[in-house]
Amino acid sequence: MDTTLQDPLVGQVLDGRYRVDARIAVGGMATVYRAMDTRLDRVLALKVMHPTLAADVSFVERFIREAKSVARLSHPNVVGVYDQGADGAYVYLAMEYVAGCTLRDVLRERGALRPRAALDILEPVLAALGAAHRAGFVHRDMKPENVLIGDDGRVKVADFGLVRAVDTVTNTTGAVLGTVSYLAPEQIEHGTADPRVDVYACGVVLYEMLTGAKPRSGDSPAQVLYQHLNEDVPPPSATVPGLPYELDDLVAAATARTPEVRPHDAVALLARTREARAGLTDAQLDAVPPRARAEDGRDISDDRTSVIPRALAFQMPLPVNEDDDADGFHRTSRLEMPPPSGPAPRYRRSRRGPLAAVVAVLLVLGLGAGVWYINSGQFTKVPALLTQSEADARKRLADAGLDVGEVKRAYSDTDPKGTVVATDPAAGTRIRDNGKVGLTLSLGPETVKVPDVEGLPLAGARTRLKDAGLEPGMVTQEFSDAIDQGAVIRTDPAARESRRAGSAVAITVSKGAPVDVPDVTGESVDDATEELTDAGLKVEIATEQVTSEFDAGEVARQSPGADSQAAEGDTITLTVSKGPEMVEVPDVVGQNVDDAKRTLESAGFKVSEDRGLLGLFGDTVKSQSVEGGDEAPKNSTITLTIR
């Protein structure tokens, strides 16, 4: 039974535009549907937020704000965002529909993957994340469920930075347990999320692809979180003997518990991944994991197939009706149900004859995925060419009976120079035999030279850097006798060095020649102000006064202090004394001199002795300079006469 028919949204039209045809998946935050954009006549995925979350205004506002930001992220390995809106209680996101399966489906079906297959999936994932990181986005929830594998073989990353997991730590459901398996230690301990949390998650995903299991396990999320914080991810070769050390190193680097030790973003991890691949032989890349098992327990160790299945969910034709496609073939809908174990179900034939029935039988037997077309050989599909060299792409096109059309070139931060970054039409598109496919080849990352901005004011230097395609970075200041105050001394990288477009450039600005700060403590406020002003400094008087050794009205302290250096025009803050603290003097006459000194010093006074000729050998206090019971300034000196 098709349970999607019980969903109240199925069959409705949202916003007068999106016809909801079938439910694809249900998650903790939203439900995803296959829908038809009736305005543009295209199939898309509609992600509809659960009504309980949609009632939270701040949650919805962030959902909308981040959706708009992600919509500007255009990359062939990122699920495109087309539209966002609301219809009554339904808040939705219209996205690219990817006919295929998720990486989670692949792992359930196949268990551990061969190293080549694992890297073939990881690299486009890192390319997508790298583009996001360079654009200022952090995914924050990378896991196999968010890696889509299309029927055309293309890998795409979904759910880019839209919403953090809800109740990730406190919720104990199995779904949440799956999410916490990919959290970086700093996400757990400090709640921080920069590109390195995605790097960590990708390391965990790579481990899972190589071994068929998560590196962390436990009966509760708390146990998994504890392991993230206190235990390193084990090397994959400990679970799958024979895996090359290059893959162990790659997992270890990505999953380092200290963020600073990891590659700083997905672009850096992608470079290390390609370096690791280059160090492996074909035999190592194609080695079948020993005793590899799918999640259903089926042994697939002898399955020599290295190609990822085009689809893992059972494909079932939609009911036949009078609105069948003009060519007599049915489009298919993905239903979350296993293939039939008994005789194939019977479907009413289209009035157009046996051809549609043949298609239905093929689909029931699990031989199809996505939208199938059967023709007399006039059409073919554009092969997947992304990341291929120009020579390999031309050969694949020739093998498919297609010609190379216009060849363009474009800069790419993530694709090596000379490799294919896009095709026109896209991979999987139906095209007539002998048709032409345009190629866009990577020029590698765009590089620019750092302009010379020495001597320019800071604002002018920032403008010139932006005009050159660079980003003004951190600004520091230092003294300079040669460069005017407020002007640029130097940049890092230095002028005329080449850097990737969009890179940040640090700027050092002159504070001018240094000014020696004079000591004005103990002076009157007027005298201190005049002396500091003459030195080219400004003066500010602190609102609070303090007790000090200086008389009331005199400067008790200054900041910056004496003998330091300041820039011309810097401000020196003066704190005014309200006089010394007065303390009652203890009476120590008649005491032993050592006891008397201890008593006075404990009360906050300094002590001096007056022995004269008669007191050279005495040890008794005969008198004191301030009589006992009187007050004297704290830290002042009390003189004792010894006889």
Q: Any idea which residues carry the catalytic annotation?
A: 141
Whether 444 and 411 have beta carbons less than 8 Å apart is answered as yes
- Residues in contact with 363: Cβ distance below 8 Å, sequence separation at least 6, in sequence order: 315, 316, 317, 332, 372
Go through 266-303 and write b for each residue having 16 or more CB atoms within 10 A of its CB, e for each that does not. bbbbbebbeebbeebeeebbebbbeebbbeeeeebeee
As a residue count, the chain comes to 643
- Residues in contact with 81: Cβ distance below 8 Å, sequence separation at least 6, in sequence order: 67, 70, 71, 93, 94, 95, 96
| Two tokens, residue 618 | 């005495």
Residue 302: CA atoms inside 13 Å, Cβ hemisphere, count?
Answer: 2
- Stated as kind and residue range, the H or E segment containing 431 is strand 430-432
| Two tokens, residue 60 | 């919805």
> Which long-range contacts link 599-607 to residues 24+ away (Cβ below 8 Å)?
600/638, 600/640, 604/634, 604/635, 605/632, 605/634, 605/635, 605/636, 605/637, 605/638, 606/635, 606/636, 606/637, 606/638, 607/637, 607/638, 607/639, 607/640
Q: How far apart are CA 118 and CA 112, in angstroms?
A: 9
| Two tokens, residue 629 | 């019971």
- Residues in contact with 636: Cβ distance below 8 Å, sequence separation at least 6, in sequence order: 580, 605, 606
| One-letter amino acid for residue 319 of the chain | P
